[in-house]
């Protein structure tokens, strides 16, 4: 059963929602041998209009986790983060986890974080990966789609960091369902999905995960260190550009059709300390 989310599902509601994604039909036998099969997911931000002590502390943890993974894999010193970060946990996270402990003391464990990813709606401002392109991203995706694609219907994904490929697959599946969930367009007053396309810069490892999931990624351009507008950024990315990063675009509806048979997805809004409302429950 799917229940539409109305116009009250604002950024604040997203921050107060616990998302749950579960693999119910593994794509291969390898996915049942010690690989994570479910995730609880929470969003966080440092945006002043929506942040709270809990969200701020959780966002700090997410950034620290992402930094540690990028440093370990790419020897990178990451300083750029998406405005909204989603963190994945094996167990239901507690708000008190971020408020009752000293933040610096908790960083080594990242309070149970096993995967994190960033999300950014594309508006008028130039996005990070457009440094690698010769034209605005909507023009490049329109070529792939064979029809005009509005910039407002595109999201940028970044900051993917995971302890294992299994958790990364679950987080990617979560984003597919999340962006596919209907929401009320304040301009047209009609329900529609949050996005038609997503774009990201994917290394060989990321593209391998997408291919394993059966999600088609359309290559837009090669991402090179030489294209960075700030030359001082080059050294901070460590070995990242040695992993063959490419700018890729993914059609959300196509990805949803691929993921739908394999996952169960739920959104639960925390109305207050004692009340929860299941906004969306999508089961196979």
Q: What is the pLDDT of residue 7?
A: 33
Summarised one tens digit per residue, pLDDT across range 85-116 is: 999 998 876 554 544 444 444 433 446 789 99
Q: What is the pLDDT of residue 189?
A: 81
What number is the average pLDDT over the span 186-214? 93
What is the 3-class SS of the chain, one letter each residue?
CCCCECCCCCHHHHHCEEEEEEECCCCCHHHHCCCCCEEEEEEEECCCCCCCHHHHHHHHHHHHHHHHHHHHHHCCCCCCCCCEEEEEECCCCCCHHHHCCCHHHHCCCHHHEEEEEEEEECCCCCCHHHHHCCCCHHHHHHHHHCCCCCHHHEEEEEEEEECCHHHHHHHHHHHHHHHHCCEECCCCCCEECCCCEEEEEECHHHHHHHHHHCCCCEEEEECCHHHCCCCCHHHHCCCHHHHCCEEEEEEHHHHHHHHHHHEEEEEEEECCCCCEEEEEEECC
What's the chain's average pLDDT? 84
Token pair recorded at residue 123: 């508006």
What number is the average pLDDT over the span 148-160? 96
Q: What is the pLDDT of residue 249?
A: 99
Q: What is the pLDDT of residue 111?
A: 62
Q: What is the pLDDT of residue 140?
A: 98
Token pair recorded at residue 138: 């909507």
Q: What is the pLDDT of residue 49?
A: 61
Instruction: Give the contacts of 194 (CB within 8 A, at least 6 positions apart).
Output: 155, 178, 179, 180, 181, 183
Q: CATH homologous superfamily of domain 11-282? A: Gcn5-related N-acetyltransferase (GNAT) (3.40.630.30)
Q: What is the pLDDT of residue 280?
A: 57
């Amino acid at each position: 059963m799917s229940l539409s989310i109305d116009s009250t599902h604002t950024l604040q509601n997203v921050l107060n929602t616990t998302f749950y994604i579960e693999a119910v039909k593994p794509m291969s036998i390898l996915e049942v041998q010690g690989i994570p099969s479910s995730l609880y997911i929470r969003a966080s931000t440092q945006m002043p209009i929506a942040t709270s002590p809990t969200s701020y502390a959780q966002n700090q943890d997410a950034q620290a986790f992402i930094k540690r993974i990028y440093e370990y894999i790419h020897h990178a010193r990451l300083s750029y983060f998406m405005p909204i970060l989603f963190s994945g946990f094996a167990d239901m996270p507690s708000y008190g986890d971020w408020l009752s402990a000293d933040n610096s003391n908790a960083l080594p464990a990242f309070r149970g974080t096993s995967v994190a990813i960033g999300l950014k709606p594309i508006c008028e401002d130039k996005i990070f990966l457009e440094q690698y392109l010769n034209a605005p991203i909507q023009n490049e995706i329109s070529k792939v789609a064979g029809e005009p694609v509005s910039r407002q219907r595109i999201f940028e994904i970044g900051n993917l960091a995971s302890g294992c490929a299994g958790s990364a697959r679950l987080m990617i599946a979560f984003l597919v369902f999340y962006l596919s969930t209907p929401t009320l367009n304040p301009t047209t007053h009609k329900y529609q999905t949050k996005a038609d396309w997503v774009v990201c810069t994917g290394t060989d490892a990321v593209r391998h995960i997408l291919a394993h999931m059966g999600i088609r990624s359309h290559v837009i351009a090669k991402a090179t260190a030489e294209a960075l507008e700030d030359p001082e950024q080059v050294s901070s990315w460590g070995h990242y550009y040695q992993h063959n990063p490419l700018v890729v675009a993914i059609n959300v509806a196509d990805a949803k059709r691929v993921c739908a048979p394999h996952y169960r997805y739920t959104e639960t809004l925390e109305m207050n300390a004692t009340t929860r409302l299941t906004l969306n429950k999508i089961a196979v």
